[in-house]
Structure 1
Amino acid sequence: MLTGLLFALCAMVLNCGAGLLQSAAANDGSPRHLVLRPFYLAGLLIDGVGWACTVVALRHLPVFAVQALIGGAIALTAVATWLLYGVRLRVIDRVAVGACVLGLAAVAASAGGEAASDLTGVVSVVLGAAVAVLAVAAIAVWRLAAAWPLSLIAGLGFGGTSLSVRALRTPDGFDVAALAVQPATYLIALFWIIGISTYSRALVLGSLSSVTAVFATTEVLAPGLVGIVLLGDPVRPGWWIPLGAGLAVAVAGVVVLANAPAPPVGHRRRRRRPVR
Structure 2
Amino acid sequence: MLIGLLFAVTAMVLNSVAGLLQADGAGRATRRRPLVVQPRYLIGLVVDGLAWGCTVVALRHLPVFAVQAILGGAIALTAIATRVLYGTVLRVIDRLAIGACLVGLVLVAGSAGGDEPQAVPFTADLILFAALILLAGALLALANTRHSWPLAVIAGLGFGGTSLGVRAVQIRNGVGADVVGLLGQPATYLVIGFWLVGLISYSRALGLGELAAVTAVFTVTEVVLPGLVGIGLLDDPVRQGWGWVLAAGLLLAGAGVVVLARSPAQRRKDDRHWVR
> TM range, normalised to the smaller chain?
over 0.9
Structure 1 partner of 2:8:
8
Q: Partners in 2 of 1:194 and 1:211 — Cα distance?
A: 16
Residues 43-82 of structure 1: pairs in structure 2 closer than 5 A: 43-82=44-83
8 Å contact kept, 2:157–2:222: yes
1:253 is aligned to 2:243: no
Superposed displacement of residue 171, structure 1: 3.7
The answer on whether the counterparts of 1:110 and 1:240 sit within 8 Å (CA) in structure 2 is yes
Partner of 2:129: 128
Distance 2:24 2:82 in 1: 10
Q: Does 1:189 align with 2:170?
A: no
Cα distance per residue 1:34-85 (max 9 Å; x no partner): 0111001000000000000000111111101100000110111000000000
Select the residue among 205, 209, 227 that pairs with 1:206. 209
Matches within 5 A, 1:35-114: 35-114=36-115
Greater helix content: 2
**1:219-266 Cα deviation digits (max 9, x unpaired):** 00010000011111011111000100000000000011112223856x
Equivalent residues of 1:138, 1:153 under 8 A apart: yes
Give 1:160 shift: 0.3
Paired residue type of 1:64: F
Match of 2:147 in 1: 146
* Cα distance between partner residues in 2 of 1:29 and 1:116: 44
Question: 1:236 aligns to what?
Answer: 239
Deviation at 1:117, TM superposition (A): 2.6
Contact kept, 8 Å, 2:69 with 2:109, in 1: the verdict is: yes
* Contact 1:60–1:114 (Cα < 8 Å) also in 2: no
Provide the residue aligned with 1:274 in structure 2. none
What is the Cα deviation at residue 29 of structure 1? 4.6
Q: Percent identity at matched positions?
A: 59
In 1: Cα distance, 2:118 partner to 2:201 partner:
31
Displacement, 1:170?
A: 4.6
- Give the Cα–Cα distance (whole angstroms) in 2 for the partners of residues 252 and 217 of structure 1: 10
Q: Is the 8 A contact 2:175 2:182 kept in 1?
A: no
SS in 2 for 1:27: helix
| Range that drifts further, 171-180 or 44-53 | 171-180
CA distance in 2, matches of 1:52, 1:147: 27
The count of corresponding residues between Structure 1 and Structure 2 is 268
- For normalisation by structure 2, the TM-score amounts to 0.94
| Equivalence for 2:22 | 22
Matches within 5 A, 1:145-184: 145-168=146-169, 169-171=172-174, 173-184=176-187
Secondary structure of 1:233 counterpart: coil
Whether contact under 8 Å (2:102, 2:253) holds in the other structure is: yes
Structure 2 SS opposite 1:192: helix
Q: Distance in 1 between matches of 2:226 and 2:118?
A: 16
Quote how far apart the aligned CAs of 1:173 are: 4.7
CA distance in 2, matches of 1:90, 1:2: 37
In structure 2, the residue matched to 1:215 is 218
Please, which moves more after superposition, 27-36 or 37-46?
Answer: 27-36
Task: List runs of 5+ in structure 2 lacking aligned partners.
Answer: none
TM-score (norm 1): 0.94
1:17 partner letter: V
Structure 1 counterpart of 2:77, which letter? L
Q: Distance in 1 between matches of 2:143 and 2:257?
A: 20
